[in-house]
Each structure stands twice: as C-alpha cells, then as structure tokens.
Amino acid sequence: MKWIMGLMVFLLTITLCIGFFAGSGFLNTELAEALSDVPEDFSSGQLEREISETFVTDIDPSWVKKTLIVSPDNRRVAYVIKEDGRWSVIIDGDKQKEYDSIMVDFPIFSPDSERVAYVARKDNKAVVVVDGEEGQPYDNILAGTPLFSPGSERFAYGAQEGDEWVVVIDGEEQERCDGLLGDLSIKFSSNGERFAYGAREGDKWYIVVDGEKQKLYDAITANSPVFSPDSKSVAYGAVDGDRWVVVVDGEEQKEHDGITNLTFSPDSSRLAYAARNGEQSLVVVDGEEQKDYDATTPPVFSPDSESVAYGAMEGNDWFVVVDGKEQKGYDRTGIPIFSPDSERVAYLAEQDNKQFVVDDGEEHNHYDAVSTPLFSPDGRRMTYAALDGNQQLVVIEGEEQKRFEGILNGTPIFSPDGERLAYGAQEGDEWFVVVDGEKQKGFDGITENTLVFSPDSRNLAYGAEEGNRSIVIIDGEKQKEYDALITLGRGRIVFNEPRNLQYLVLKGRSIYLVEERF
C-alpha cells in the first residue's frame, strides 16, 4: 500500500541522513571498560570552584552489563546484579530482594526520580515491584510495562493469568479481558488523572477510558488511544468491517479505508491524522479532508497550533504541504519541522542523490548527506551538520562554517537564548569543541551527548577524554579527572542553576555525584 510505503521511505531517509556523523570513539557506553584498577592521582583542575563529591554506590563485581540506569534528575543510580544464580536490583547502593531473574529493560525510574520499578520472576511467576513493594504474581507481565504517569504519582502495567489479561492501575486490577492491544496502548493523560488502554473480548477489540468500556470493533489502530495535551479529550482509530473511523470522546468521525497517526494540536483544540480512501492517501484536519495523494506522511502541527504540515507524493515527486499549499517537488522529502515561534518550517530533501535543507521554501546548498535541522529556542536561527565528500561541516542560517574531518554526534546545539552555538569536531586524532566559531583545546575524545549550556547561556560544559581519564570542561577549563564520566543509562551533565552543575563519575568501582558551584 503506497501510503504505508511512503511512511517507510521517510523514516529510512531520516535514518540515512543522520547516520554518517562521526563519534569521538570515547562514548562511555561500556561502563565495564572503566571498571579496572586505576591509580587515584586526580588533578585538581585550574579553576577555583566549590566542588563536592557525594558517594552514591559501588559497582558490584557481579553487575549485569548495560542494566545501569540513571534517574532523570541525574542524582540516583540503579542496576541489576547476578550472584550464585540469583538476581537483585541495586538502588543507590542498597540491595533489594533476590529473585530467580529480573526482566530485561529494568529497572526504571519515575519521571520525578523518586520511584523505581522493575519486573522480577519467582516460582515461575512474574511480579511487578514498585518502591520495593511486590504486586500480585501473574504468569506474565506485558512487555514495556510497568510505566509511570507523567507526574509520577501513578503506575500501570498489563498482566496475563492463564488465558486472561488485565491492566493494573496503581495496584488495582481493572476488568479482565481476552487480550491487550500492547504496551503502547496503555496511556496516562498529561495531568495523570485519566488513563486509557486497548483490550480484546473474543475476536472484538475496544478501548477502556477511565475504567469505562467503549464500543466493540474488529480492530483498534496502532498507537491508539491518544489523549489531548490538556487531558480533556481522548481519540483512537477503529475498524468495523471495511469501515475505518476515528473516535473522539466516544463520537465516530467520517469513515475511511485506513487511518493512522492521530495527532492533537499543542493547544488541544485541533485533531489531524493520515487516512486512505481506496488507493489514495490524504490528511484529515479538523474533520476536513485535504487533497488526495499517492502517499502522505504524518501531519505535524506548529507550536502555536495555527498551522499544519505534512509530506505528500504525487507521481514520482515528493513535496511538503503547509496549510494546504504544496511546496516544490523532489525525489524525496523529510517530515517538516516548525520553528519554536511557528514562523518557519524546514525539512530535508533529496534530489539526484544529493541532500539539502529547505527553509521556508528556500533551498540550501546540496551535500552528500545532512542531519535533521535544529532551530534555536527563539526560532530565529537554524543549524545542521553536513557531509561533503570526506569533509564534515556545520551550517548556520545557510552559512557554511569551517570544514573538519568529523562532527560529533548530537551536535551542534544552541544555547537557551539562541545566541550561542557549540559543536564537537575532529582534526586528525584530536577532538575539540567549537563555541561561537572559536576552536577550544583539543582532547583524545569529546564525550557524546554531554555538551550543555547553562540556563542563562553564559557557560558551556562538556565531557572530554585524555588517555583513559575523563574530565569535565567548563568554559574551556579542565576540572578534576576521573576514571569515567557516567553517560551510560542516560547519565549526563546537568545545570541546576546558572552557576551550579552536577554529574556522575566513576572512581575505581565507586560512583560519585559531583556538584560544582562557581
């Protein structure tokens, strides 16, 4: 089906565009590599700053690799150990109860970092453990669950007992059913007060909203249900025979031959989705069908909710449609991106095996590959990285910057005020950061996903590597050296205030929380 194939083409295009950019080779993704005996002769750094180190946990020799997870506030650590065939979770150094096994992808922290959950097995049964409390044992727990509400107050998971399935909300079973739509169907509203999920009764499917069973259908579409940002409305796609309908707050909308990618506007007042009528694809906005095409991509709302854009294919041409107006056609186009101020829209395009960015209809230079464009927080500037032959470069507002052998993954980045820009680059064996066009000191490596500006945009911090040592750099100056900067499990450098930052480090086999004030 063309409309589905179109979506696959776009996702592949985006993947190809971002895949070429180099890493520094010191990405700190294998913590085990740093867990070796290293002499503790740390340098004190050049800056006079108030630095504190708080012990968090030791890494047990029996830890299970790649299970370490850092809390969203970057202050807590949890991981899994296996000793004598028994499995346990370590939370901030405290060993939890032993089990026959701990399921993969766990433990997890709640969004507020206060709570921890995981799935364990004992006596051939699975249990969900939240804040140290075991739930009821079941035969299986639905993959991808448990999950916390956005505010962390609530949790939910799916479970199987015999031939029956059930969703458990805050420890309370809902009505049992014959099957669940999947982990992606269990949703909390943004305020955490409402919940919804998809379930099966015999060969029919239905949505449950706040404990109330909705109408039976032959199928429920993927990624359903969807709450509006204000938590007041819930929508889902459903199939009844040959009819495909969108249901909004219990009311069926117009029928189609296919439906996907339901999207509410940021202000919750509008709804858009991709649909199919016969062999033609289209986007529906506020209940109004837009023009038919051979294929379409998911619709995207602008931050102010006033505009909607999507990609479309007609014949051999792909193009972007913004508020019903077709842009220029190309061999391929990417999913459109609105600027934060909603004044601009940009997207990737490809023509004759060359890729480029289109910004408000204006083509930038063509390259072998380009990364997804990034707007500054104020929407006034746009940047991206590009590959041109064996050289890589950053482009700011269409202006090429200096060319290098490599550009660090995840860069460039803007400061919060949009005035400053930084990225990692490589020349020969040396990696360094370029800030506001100025090259900083070189290192053996720059740690990926660590570049961060302070909230007031005045300061820049990032991780660097020298030999087998890790260092945090603040405004170009080296701080104390450690065995490793913890970036595994979403660890990162965090500014709590304009002159207060924190990060987790490894010293020997111990993890410490480092806080700096300056």
Q: What's residue 3's pLDDT?
A: 40
pLDDT one-digit tens code per residue, 272-296: 999 999 999 999 999 999 999 999 9
User: Environment class of residue 376 by beta-carbon count within 10 Å: exposed (0-12), middle (13-18) or buried (19+)?
Assistant: buried
Q: What's residue 14's pLDDT?
A: 39
Q: Please say if the pLDDT value at position 169 is more than 70.
A: yes
30-39, 61-70, 392-401: the lowest-pLDDT one:
30-39
Q: Please say if the pLDDT value at position 40 is more than 50.
A: no
Secondary structure of residue 10 in the 3-state scheme: helix
The whole-number average pLDDT for the span 459-478 is 96
Distances (CA, A) of 134 to 130, 131, 302: 7, 9, 43
Q: What's residue 370's pLDDT?
A: 98
Q: Please say if the pLDDT value at position 45 is more than 60.
A: no
User: What is the Cα–Cα distance from 428 to 312, expressed in whole angstroms?
Assistant: 42
Q: What's residue 35's pLDDT?
A: 53
User: What is the Cα–Cα distance from 386 to 436, expressed in whole angstroms?
Assistant: 18
E strand or H helix that includes residue 83: strand 77-83
The whole-number average pLDDT for the span 204-227 is 97
Question: Which pLDDT band holds residue 249 (cuts at 50, 70, 90)?
Answer: very high
The whole-number average pLDDT for the span 397-407 is 98
The whole-number average pLDDT for the span 56-79 is 95
Determine what percent of the chain is predicted with pLDDT higher than 90.
88
pLDDT one-digit tens code per residue, 141-163: 999 999 999 999 999 999 999 99
Q: What's residue 33's pLDDT?
A: 53
pLDDT one-digit tens code per residue, 92-135: 999 999 999 999 999 999 999 999 999 999 999 999 999 999 99
Torsion of CA 323, 328, 333, 335, to 10 degrees: -20
| Whole-number average pLDDT of the chain | 92
Q: What's residue 184's pLDDT?
A: 81
Question: Which pLDDT band holds residue 183 (cuts at 50, 70, 90)?
Answer: confident
pLDDT one-digit tens code per residue, 305-346: 999 999 999 999 999 999 999 999 999 999 999 999 999 999
Say if CB 360 and CB 346 are below 8 A apart. Answer: yes
Q: What's residue 431's pLDDT?
A: 98
Q: What's residue 46's pLDDT?
A: 47
Nearest Cα to Cα of residue 428 among 403, 408, 406, 402:
406
